Amino acid sequence: MIPTFPFGRTGHQSTRALFGAAALGRVTQAEADQTMELIISHGVNHIDTAASYGDSELRLGPWMARMRDRFFLATKTGERTYQGARDQIRRSLERLRVDRVDLIQLHNLAQPEEWEVAMGPDGALRAAIEARDEGLVRFIGVTGHGLGIARMHLRSLGRFDFDSVLLPYNFVLIQNAQYAADFEELLALCQRRNVAVQTIKSITRAPWGDNPHTAATWYEPLRDQPDVDRAVHWVLGRPGVFLNTVGDIHVLPRVLDAASRFERRPTDEEMAAVVKAQSMEPLFV
């Protein structure tokens, strides 16, 4: 089974591998049902979805209608204005068939112009706070991609006391000295404030480039189990961070298998060997 850890200040003991339900965006309900059975068999008790993840919220709905109390349920709004976010939060509740989610996140808040709108007096943050005050959500987080996102999350935490952050983290990415420094600064602040830190893109091999897309992920993932093991174990080897699983239901079993067998963090030499053998490249440049 996958070990658990306190999800920041929420009081929830979440499995360190969270189910990234972007994987359900373009699947049938039957495929979604099989996937839910798989994550349950691994003991996963935390689901992360978003309004923009295709049919993901709809696919989760039947399960949330009957098993809501089994999961810490998070979704996201990509809207930046108050009214847009307010409407989207309520639509997500309908699609998920729930009266409340545990965590609402401002999705991919990475661009300064969008940040100013979302964090302004008539922005998405106001809608999230209102939803929390009304009991529609319990906690509020912020997410993002790109090399500048750790720095942006620091800015966001300077404006509002978010309960969680989400950002990329893998061995190749952390070789970027500036990103590594920003990540460490963010992690230290989150640990002081007891803010949950979620990570994504753990098994990224490289951008697709001109290669045919053979997985539902927007990057080419590692596939061989030993390589997935090392990539997943490298992330889980960092105390206090959570790993959001891959956005493809067919690759997902390998990530869950790796997470369930975590014992130690691979060495830099072991990771460098994977990078060389798989010709791994940075996803963000």
Residue 22: inside a domain: yes
Q: Give the type of residue at 45.
A: N
- Structural tokens at position 89: 């939060």
Q: What confidence tens digit (pLDDT) does each residue in 117-157 have?
A: 999 999 999 999 999 999 999 999 999 999 999 999 999 99
Residue 283: inside a domain: no
| Residue 251 to residue 234: CA distance in whole angstroms | 18
Q: What is the mean pLDDT of the chain?
A: 97
Residue 284: inside a domain: no
pLDDT of 31 higher than 90: yes
Residue 205: inside a domain: yes
| Vertex 88 angle, CA 85 and 89, to 5° | 85
For residue 85, the model assigns a pLDDT of 98
Beta carbons of 46 and 18 less than 8 angstroms apart? yes
Look up the domain containing 191 and give its range: 4-278
Residue 105: inside a domain: yes
For residue 268, the model assigns a pLDDT of 97
Among candidate residues 86, 74, 79, the one with its CA nearest the CA of residue 131: 86
| Residue 40 to residue 110: CA distance in whole angstroms | 33
pLDDT of 285 higher than 90: no
For residue 139, the model assigns a pLDDT of 99
- Structural tokens at position 265: 């963090």
Q: What confidence tens digit (pLDDT) does each residue in 187-236 have?
A: 999 999 999 999 999 999 999 988 899 999 999 999 999 999 999 999 99
Beta carbons of 140 and 118 less than 8 angstroms apart? no
Instruction: Assign residue 255 the CATH number of its domain.
Output: 3.20.20.100
For residue 211, the model assigns a pLDDT of 84
Residue 238: inside a domain: yes
Angle at which helix 29-41 crosses helix 56-67, to 10 degrees, equals 50
What's the chain look like in SS3? CCCEEECCCCCCEEECEEEEHHHHCCCCHHHHHHHHHHHHHCCCCEEECCCCCCCHHHHHHHHHHHHHHHCEEEEEECCCEHHHHHHHHHHHHHHHCCCCEEEEEECCCCCHHHHHHHCCCCEHHHHHHHHHHCCCEEEEEEECCCCCHHHHHHHHHHHCCCCEEEEECCCCHHHCHHHHHHHHHHHHHHHHHCCEEEEECCCEEECCCCCCCCCCCCCEECCCHHHHHHHHHHHHCCCCEEEECCCCCCCHHHHHHHHHCCCCCCCHHHHHHHHHHHCCCCCCC
Q: Give the type of residue at 240.
A: G
Q: What confidence tens digit (pLDDT) does each residue in 71-105 have?
A: 999 999 999 999 999 999 999 999 999 999 999 99
Mean pLDDT value of segment 45-54: 98
pTM value is: 0.97
Query: What pairs with residue 243 in β-bridges?
Result: 17, 199
Residue 91: inside a domain: yes
pLDDT of 1 higher than 90: no
The count of structural domains within the chain is 1
Residue 55: inside a domain: yes
For residue 210, the model assigns a pLDDT of 85
Q: What confidence tens digit (pLDDT) does each residue in 230-280 have?
A: 999 999 999 999 999 999 999 999 999 999 999 999 999 999 999 999 999
| Vertex 220 angle, CA 216 and 224, to 5° | 100
